[in-house]
Amino acid sequence: GEDVEQSLFLSVREGDSSVINCTYTDSSSTYLYWYKQEPGAGLQLLTYIFSNMDMKQDQRLTVLLNKKDKHLSLRIADTQTGDSAIYFCAETYHNAGKSTFGDGTTLTVKP
Amino acid sequence: KAGVTQTPRYLIKTRGQQVTLSCSPISGHRSVSWYQQTPGQGLQFLFEYFSETQRNKGNFPGRFSGRQFSNSRSEMNVSTLELGDSALYLCASSPDRASGELFFGEGSRLTVL
């Protein structure tokens, strides 16, 4: 079945790295995504990784995928106060038209 | 390119009423999906439309329905509103069904009194 889990809260100091973790249960997931939601807004697609990849880097963002443990992480380098938001991981399948989301991790960045 | 536009942004209804929410996808995007976001249940998939056909449906009662028009714009309708329907309803568009890459609107916040 489909289930995506995340820790609910993370607090870091400005300039530090943030690591947000996610576990999923369905090994047939094709794509894994990270979205960011700021207060009063919809979700913004940040980055994604295909299930046949181990790592993807996109500027300050690094996504790591451990398929054996079904573990996904998002690392934000040099975290800024503007990075404070809720981060969602999501899994989807090719041509499914549906994504399953975790409950979101609230990242607080302290100056 | 304009993003996903949802209207109305905020609305208040009473129990038993019905509501229609509208979503205009990004130009050229043919897939539109809807999600309900609540503090208790998180993001729950409602349904997905592609080429005017519902292709996938979540586990919601029949009071929740939707449709997609030939220009890819979509509407969702909730009839006989219940207090528990209070939520942020998010629409997302995607260029196709293959990747699952979703571009979200800012949502319609529904309050049921």
pLDDT over threshold 90, residue B76: yes
Is A98 within 8 Å of B56 when comparing Cβ atoms?
Answer: yes
Chain B's closest residue to A5, CA to CA, is B42
Is A98 within 8 Å of B58 when comparing Cβ atoms?
Answer: yes
Question: How far apart (Å, rounded) are the C-alpha atoms in residues B107 and B57?
Answer: 19
Note the pLDDT tens digit of each residue in A67-103: 999 999 999 999 999 999 999 999 987 777 789 999 9
Note the pLDDT tens digit of each residue in A39-77: 888 999 999 998 889 999 999 999 999 999 999 999 999
Report pLDDT for A2.
61
Report pLDDT for A98.
87
Q: Looking at beta carbons, which residues of chain B come within 8 Å of A48?
A: 99, 101
Question: Average pLDDT for residues A10-20, to the nearest whole number?
Answer: 97
Q: Which tops the pLDDT comparison, B96 or B88? A: B88
Is A42 within 8 Å of B105 when comparing Cβ atoms?
Answer: yes
Q: Looking at beta carbons, which residues of chain A come within 8 Å of B102?
A: 33, 35, 43, 45, 90, 99
A39 contact B CB<8A: no
A29 contact B CB<8A: no
Nearest to B31 among A44, A45, A97 (CB): A97
pLDDT over threshold 70, residue B77: yes
Work out the pLDDT band at A26, boundaries 50, 70, 90: confident
Q: Are B33 and B58 in contact (CB under 8 A)?
A: no
Q: Are A35 and A91 in contact (CB under 8 A)?
A: no
Is A45 within 8 Å of B102 when comparing Cβ atoms?
Answer: yes
Work out the pLDDT band at B90, boundaries 50, 70, 90: very high
Report pLDDT for B36.
97
pLDDT over threshold 80, residue B1: no
**For residue B6, with 0-12 CB atoms within 10 Å meaning exposed, 13-18 middle and 19 or more buried, which class applies?**
buried
**Who's near A28: CB < 8 A, 6+ residues apart?**
A93
**Interface probe, candidates A4, A99, A106, chain B, greatest B C-beta count within 10 A:** A99
Note the pLDDT tens digit of each residue in B25-51: 999 999 999 999 998 889 999 999 999
Give the CA distances from residue A80 to residues A11, A60, B87, in Å, rounded to whole numbers and listed in that order.
Answer: 12, 11, 30
**Who's near A63: CB < 8 A, 6+ residues apart?**
A32, A34, A47, A48, A49, A55, A56, A57, A72, A73, A74, A75
* Lookup: tokens for A55: 């790592």
Report pLDDT for B95.
87
